């Protein structure tokens, strides 16, 4: 069956199959890695991944999509890898991604993730910061497993560079909350670092582990960067309009904190009465009330903010796919790209 015969539902199903397979492959590696920690860090890590409750009792919970790991494995396969050499790198991407999630929850003051109390809400801020640090460190050790010294050095160098960019992007994102003027270009620069860099690293590592040439590795990094931009655009849409029953987070959570996400920034820069009213509503330093959240949501839509964010997401997907030679745009990669702009959480 060729990709042209797949409808949106089939694309989504294919992507879900890839993600499921990735979790089956990577979870044993993640469990083994987390198992090297001493309690309470081990218990905190397993709780965050959804393997057990805060007391260490086994449970069955959603442990995340594993998109970054899937992109690493799928990229390696696209580049001709038929073995498991890229599995440790894929697991490393999950470790470093979850480092960012644990720290994000602290910085954002989020009490829920995937419908469960966040690590800091259970163990406190200090322990959550330490857990994030540990996951970050474990990622570097895991990424170099089974690789030659030369490839391992290149892999860890890429991972380190991506980590620096992620932190810079996160700092900019936090800084936006106290700025009165943020342009769409400012946003795209921030998102390229905060989200694009890590997804670009995931695809770059997949190509690197498969022994691809420099041009191919660079092409996959570009693919991942723009895929990451699309992911962040959709994440911002979900942050306002996401269903709490699916996201596990409150309705309009980004508006409550007056975050300047892409739909909001686009609305505020729209030169429309609705955009001006939204900017005025954002001037207060206090969290929005439920009534204000409803009003702000309507203003973002009226000013075209949601439409603009959706357009940017689809443009980024197109740019991502065109960065790859046609023979490397495998069905699995195209399905994952489709899922990025058609996800609900």
What share of the chain has pLDDT > 90, as a percent? 84
| DSSP label of 148 | -
Which residues contact residue 182 at a Cβ distance below 8 angstroms, ignoring those fewer than 6 apart? 176, 260, 265, 268
62: pLDDT confidence band, cut at 50, 70 and 90?
low
Once rounded to an integer, what is the mean pLDDT over residues 58-86? 91
To the nearest whole number, what is the mean pLDDT of the chain?
94
In order of 139, 226, 269, 308, the CA distances from 315 in angstroms are 31, 9, 19, 10
Which residues contact residue 126 at a Cβ distance below 8 angstroms, ignoring those fewer than 6 apart? none
Reported as a single tens digit per residue, the pLDDT across 9-31 is 899 999 999 999 999 999 999 99
Contacts of range 8-17, beta carbons closer than 8 Å, 24 or more positions apart: 8/338, 8/342, 11/334, 11/335, 11/338, 11/339, 11/342, 12/335, 12/338, 12/339, 12/342, 14/331, 14/332, 14/335, 15/332, 15/335, 15/336, 15/338, 15/339, 16/339
What share of the chain has pLDDT > 70, as a percent? 98
Provide the pLDDT for residue 150: 94
Provide the pLDDT for residue 182: 95
Decide if 69 contacts 26 (C-beta within 8 A): yes
Provide the pLDDT for residue 180: 84
Provide the pLDDT for residue 63: 72
pTM: 0.94
Going along the chain from its start, the domains and CATH numbers come out as 7-55+65-340 (1.10.600.10)
Structure-block tokens of residue 18: 């890839």
Which residues contact residue 317 at a Cβ distance below 8 angstroms, ignoring those fewer than 6 apart? 226, 227, 230, 337, 338, 340, 341
Using a 10 angstrom Cβ sphere, with 0-12 exposed, 13-18 middle and 19 or more buried, the burial of residue 100 is: buried
Reported as a single tens digit per residue, the pLDDT across 143-165 is 988 899 999 999 999 999 999 99
5: pLDDT confidence band, cut at 50, 70 and 90?
low
Reported as a single tens digit per residue, the pLDDT across 93-146 is 999 999 999 999 999 899 988 889 999 999 999 999 999 999 999 999 999 888
Bond prior to 256 in cis (omega within 30° of 0): no
Once rounded to an integer, what is the mean pLDDT over residues 175-199? 95
Provide the pLDDT for residue 343: 87
């Amino acid at each position: 069956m060729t990709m042209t015969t797949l409808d949106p539902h089939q694309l989504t199903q294919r992507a879900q199959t890839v993600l499921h397979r990735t979790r089956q492959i990577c979870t044993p590696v993640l469990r083994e890695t987390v198992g090297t920690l001493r309690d309470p860090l081990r218990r905190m890590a397993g709780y965050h991944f959804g393997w057990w409750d805060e007391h260490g009792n086994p449970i069955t919970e959603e442990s995340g999509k594993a998109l970054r790991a899937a992109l690493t494995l799928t990229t390696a396969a696209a580049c001709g890898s038929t073995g498991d050499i890229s599995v440790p790198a894929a697991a490393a991407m999950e470790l470093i991604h979850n480092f960012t999630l644990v720290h994000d929850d602290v910085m954002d003051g989020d009490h829920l993730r995937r419908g469960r109390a966040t690590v800091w809400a259970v163990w406190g801020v200090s322990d959550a910061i330490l857990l994030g640090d540990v996951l970050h460190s474990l990622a570097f050790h895991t990424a170099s497993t089974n690789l030659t010294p030369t490839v391992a050095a290149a892999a860890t160098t890429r991972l380190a560079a991506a980590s620096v960019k992620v932190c810079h992007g996160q700092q900019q994102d936090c800084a936006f909350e106290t700025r009165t003027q943020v342009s769409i270009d400012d946003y795209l620069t921030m998102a390229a670092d905060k989200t694009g860099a890590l997804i670009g690293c995931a695809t770059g590592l997949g190509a690197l582990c498969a022994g691809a040439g420099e041009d191919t590795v660079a092409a996959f990094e570009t693919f991942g960067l723009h895929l990451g931009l699309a992911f962040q655009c959709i994440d911002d849409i979900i942050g306002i309009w996401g269903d709490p029953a699916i996201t596990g987070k409150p309705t309009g959570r980004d508006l409550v904190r007056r975050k300047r996400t892409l739909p909001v920034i686009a609305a505020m820069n729209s030169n429309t009465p609705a955009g001006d009213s939204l900017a005025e509503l954002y001037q207060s330093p206090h969290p929005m009330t439920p009534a204000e959240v409803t009003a702000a949501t309507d203003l973002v839509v009226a000013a075209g903010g949601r439409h603009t964010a959706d357009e940017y997401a689809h443009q980024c997907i197109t740019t991502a796919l065109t960065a790859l030679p046609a023979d490397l745009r495998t069905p699995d990669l195209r399905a994952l790209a489709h899922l990025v702009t058609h996800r609900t959480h």
